[in-house]
Amino acid sequence: MIEVTDLTKRYGDHTAVDHLSFKVEKGQIYGFLGPNGAGKSTTMNIITGYLAASEGTVTIDGHDVQQEPEEAKKRIGYLPELPPLYMDMTVEEYLRFAAELKKVPKAERNEQVKQVMDMTQIADMRGRLIKNLSKGYRQRVGLAQALLGSPEVLILDEPSVGLDPKQIIEIRDLIRELGKNHTIILSSHILSEVSAVCDHIMIISHGKLVASDSPEGLQKLMSGAGELKLTVKGSYEALQEAVAQMAGIQGMEQQTVASEGGGGDCCSVLIKTDKEQDIREALFYLLAEKRLPILSMTLSERSLEDIFLELTGEAPASKEPVKKAWGRRKKAAQAGDTQDTLAESQAGQNGGALAAESQGGQNGGALAAESQAGQNGGALAAESQAGQDSDDQAESAAELQAGQDSGASATELQAGKGSGSQPAQGKSDSREEA
């Protein structure tokens, strides 16, 4: 249905898609997986004709997207990551407008609009403005416009982004239902969504296709030695002796030793087996013969997350930028601390004056002024904090910078603050009256 051959897209020196080739068969749901920046959206934009490729070809049902764009686009319904919606239109107005743009015959428009609204379950919202709809319903409206014109291929770019869990389940069910009559390419980096919906998975990394298979096929492809978690009632030595007689076992590692409530010791082990060899049945009969009862036995399989991280190399690559960013922030912080220290050192040359102000701090404004002076150079902060008339501020700042006697400086500052002298005068008057 879709054939992509040596597809390449460059932006200057950056290669977003690097000689990508794959085929999409009719009647299946394909998952297009990859980390952010892997080239998924760029590839989809080229397939749908929104972007031109630097190299390579894309054919839709035998029609080249660049040579026969109109015929190729008739066979595609596209839902971008951000649906192209007109917020001031109602749902029905927007879908009629989209049907007209897609050149749906006039006699068929009403029926098609009604059909896609029923399929996406938005018929009850037909008269509502799109701007008043929730995120989930907007995604449904975008999907409805993609279905107009009865395209054979649906390309959905991050259809569940920004949805709540209930809406995600609804969109997944809708995609499964649409997969019965359409070929679907679903782009996502949510692994659970892809594994739950798709029949076939393609993993892209740095613009290149690194894997293409069914979810089960990928697990078999990437699986090395199998792992079997086993818990038996008995000693590790007895289990080791019994297992040594079996073929297909690469090794055994003891996990835990515990005591069961019914008496007797139990041991848990991890058995590594040869690839694609299931020893569970033979192991069961062997341990029954050796009178080593099996309490639990679990076959450990690799998850899609493990496969994805191994193929894309995402885990190691994400650490380096964090280290660099932390280093830059740390250097910037150290530089800022150094500048603050130098400023405080320069502003604090007159230690006597600062000490006198700190000890004689009868007014909270003086302490704030001295603290602020340590950052801004002394005199300017003292002027702004004191809030006195400009002559007294200049005199106080001159006293601090000139390094006068600490007692004289403190006296001058105290004399320059009306709020400090007023209470003292009030006290002497009250004593005379007494």
- Residue 422: count other Cβ atoms within 10 Å of its Cβ: 9
DSSP string, 77-117: EEE-SS----TTSBHHHHHHHHHHHTT--HHHHHHHHHHHH
d(CA 166, CA 241): 52
Indicate the range of 92-101, 112-121, 241-250 predicted with least confidence: 241-250
For residues 318-331, average pLDDT: 41
CB 130 within 8 A of CB 93: no
For residues 399-403, average pLDDT: 44
Q: Find, among 306, 316, 315, 308, the residue nearest to 210 by Cα.
A: 308
Per the confidence metrics, is the pTM higher than 0.85? no
Contacts of 55 (CB under 8 A, 6+ apart): 6, 7, 8, 19
| DSSP strand pairing (29-33 vs 183-188) | parallel
The residue ranking higher by pLDDT, 19 or 305, is: 19
d(CA 318, CA 157): 24
CB 178 within 8 A of CB 154: yes
For residues 53-76, average pLDDT: 90
pLDDT bucket at 301, cuts 50 / 70 / 90: low
CATH code at 2-220: 3.40.50.300
Judged against a pLDDT cut of 50, whether residue 413 lies above it is answered with no
Indicate the range of 27-41, 293-307, 393-407 predicted with least confidence: 393-407
d(CA 125, CA 225): 54
The residue ranking higher by pLDDT, 178 or 192, is: 178
| DSSP strand pairing (29-33 vs 14-24) | unpaired
pLDDT bucket at 115, cuts 50 / 70 / 90: very high
For residues 201-205, average pLDDT: 88
CB 139 within 8 A of CB 83: yes
Assign domain 224-300 to its CATH superfamily: MTH889-like domain (3.30.70.1340)
Judged against a pLDDT cut of 60, whether residue 385 lies above it is answered with no
Residue 47 one-letter amino acid? I
Judged against a pLDDT cut of 50, whether residue 425 lies above it is answered with no
Interaxial angle between packed helices 390-402 and 406-415, expressed in degrees from 0 to 180 and rounded to the nearest 10 = 170
CB 312 within 8 A of CB 35: yes
**Is 105 exposed, middle or buried, given 0-12, 13-18 or 19+ CB atoms closer than 10 A?**
exposed
Instruction: Check residue 58 and give its pLDDT.
Output: 93
pLDDT bucket at 124, cuts 50 / 70 / 90: very high
| Domains 2-220 and 224-300 in one fold | no
For residues 291-313, average pLDDT: 77
Domain-by-domain residue ranges, the chain?
Answer: 2-220, 224-300, 348-420
For residues 149-166, average pLDDT: 85
